Homo-oligomer: A and B are copies of this chain.
Amino acid sequence: MKHIVITAGGTSEAIDGVRRIGNTSTGSLAACIYEALSEHLAAHKSGAFTVHYVVSETAARPEIKENLPVTFYPVTDVKSVEAVLEQLLTGYKADYVIHAMAVSDFTKGYLAGREALAEELSETLEEALSRDRGGMSGEKLRALVRGVLERPACRLDGPSKVRSAEDLMLSLVRTPKLIEKIKQWSPGSFLVGFKLLKGVDEEALVRVAAGLSEKSGCDLVLANDMDRIGADRHEGLLLKGRRVVGSYGTKKEIAAGIAGHMLGGSDAGGETGGGQ
* Interface positions of A (Cβ within 8 A of B): 15, 17-24, 58, 102, 105-106, 109, 114-115, 117-119, 121-122, 125-126, 129, 135-136, 138, 141-142, 145-146, 149-150, 159-161, 164, 166-174, 196-199, 226
Q: How far is the CA of A145 from the CA of B119 in the complex (A)?
A: 8
Report the copy number of this chain in the oligomer: 2
B-chain residues with CB within 8 Å of residue A166 when the two chains form the complex: 174
**Residues of chain B lying within 8 A (CB to CB) of residue A15:** 21
Contacts of A170 in B (CB 8 A): 169-172
A122 to B137: give the CA distance in the assembly, Å.
Answer: 11
A171–B174 contact, CB under 8 A?
A: no
Whether the Cβ atoms of A21 and B19 lie closer than 8 Å is yes
Tell me the minimal C-beta distance from A160 to chain B in angstroms. 5
Please state if A171 and B173 are interface contacts (CB–CB under 8 Å).
Answer: no
A142–B164 contact, CB under 8 A? no
Distance in angstroms between the alpha carbons of A126 and B197 in the assembled complex: 38
Q: What CA separation (Å) do A93 and B196 show in the bound complex?
A: 46
Whether the Cβ atoms of A226 and B168 lie closer than 8 Å is no
Q: Are A129 and B135 in contact (CB under 8 A)?
A: yes
B160-A199 in contact (CB<8A) = yes
Q: Considering only CB atoms, which chain B residue lies closest to A200 in the complex?
A: B160
A58 to B23, CA, bound (A): 13
Shortest CB distance A201–B (Å): 13
Taking a contact as CB atoms under 8 Å apart, the answer to whether A149 and B117 are in contact is yes
Contacts of A119 in B (CB 8 A): 142
Residue of B nearest to A10 (CB): B18
Specify which of A121, A150, A160 lies most central, judged by the most chain B CB atoms within 10 Å of its CB.
A121
Q: Which of B102, B138, B198, B199 contacts A122 (CB 8 A)?
A: B138
A136 with B129: in contact, given A15-B21, A18-B226, A170-B169 (CB under 8 Å)? yes
Known contacts: A22-B22, A135-B129, A168-B171. The answer to whether A198 contacts B118 by CB under 8 A is no
8 A-B pairs closest in CB distance? A105-B164, A17-B198, A168-B172, A170-B170, A122-B142, A161-B198, A118-B146, A167-B173
Q: Are B171 and A114 in contact (CB under 8 A)?
A: yes
A118–B106 touching, CB < 8 Å: no
A sample of 22 inter-chain contacts (CB < 8 A) reads A18-B198, A19-B21, A19-B23, A21-B21, A106-B164, A106-B167, A109-B167, A118-B146, A119-B142, A121-B145, A125-B141, A126-B138, A159-B198, A159-B199, A160-B198, A160-B199, A161-B226, A166-B174, A167-B173, A167-B174, A169-B169, A169-B170
Contact present for A145 and B172 (CB under 8 Å): no
Contact B21 A20 (CB under 8 A): yes
